[in-house]
C-alpha cells in the first residue's frame, strides 16, 4: 500500500467538484463548491484503511494550493480543512473574511 501511496497523484475532478487521491482500490477526496471568486471546501473523506498516513493532509495542501494559485478566497466549512489551515498559517490570509496584515 505504501508504494501506491507514494506514487499516487492528487487529481482535480472539476465535473465532480472535488480533488481525488486514488490509492489502490481506495479513493480519498476533498469536495468543494465554487462560489464566484470563492471556493467552499465542504467535505474531506479518507477511507479507514488510509487513515493516519498523511492522505488527508496531502489532499488539503493540494486543494488549498489550487485555491491560492487561482486567486480564490477559501471558505473552510469542512472541519478537516479548517484545522489544516490553523496548522498552516501560510493559507490564513487567503481565507474569506481574513483581515489583511499590516
User: How many domains does the structure of the chain reveal?
Assistant: 1
pLDDT of residue 90: 95
In angstroms, rounded to a whole number, what is the distance separating the alpha carbons of residues 3 and 63?
22
- 8 Å CB contact between 21 and 12: no
Give domain status of residue 99, yes or no: no
Domain span at 62: 2-94
pLDDT of residue 37: 96
Output the pTM of the full model: 0.90
Write out the DSSP string of the chain. -HHHHHH---EEETTTTEEEEEETTEEEEEEEEEETTEEEEEEEE--GGGTTTTHHHHHHHHHHHHHHHTTPEEEE-SHHHHHHHHH-GGGGGGBTTPPPP-
pLDDT of residue 98: 73
Q: What is the pLDDT along the chain (102 residues), one digit of tens a residue?
A: 555 666 789 999 999 999 999 999 999 999 999 999 999 999 999 999 999 999 999 999 999 999 999 999 999 999 999 999 999 999 999 999 876 654
Give domain status of residue 16, yes or no: yes
Q: For residue 51, give the CATH number of its domain.
A: 3.40.630.30
Amino acid at each position: 500500500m505504501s508504494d501506491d501511496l507514494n506514487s499516487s497523484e492528487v487529481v482535480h475532478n472539476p465535473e465532480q467538484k472535488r480533488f481525488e487521491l486514488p490509492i489502490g482500490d481506495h479513493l480519498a477526496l476533498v469536495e468543494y463548491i465554487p462560489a464566484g471568486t470563492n471556493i467552499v471546501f465542504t467535505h474531506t473523506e479518507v477511507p479507514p484503511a488510509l487513515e493516519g498516513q498523511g492522505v488527508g493532509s496531502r489532499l488539503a495542501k493540494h486543494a488549498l494550493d489550487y485555491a491560492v494559485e487561482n486567486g480564490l478566497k477559501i471558505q473552510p466549512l469542512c472541519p478537516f480543512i479548517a484545522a489544516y489551515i490553523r496548522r498552516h498559517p501560510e493559507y490564513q490570509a487567503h481565507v474569506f473574511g481574513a483581515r489583511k496584515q499590516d
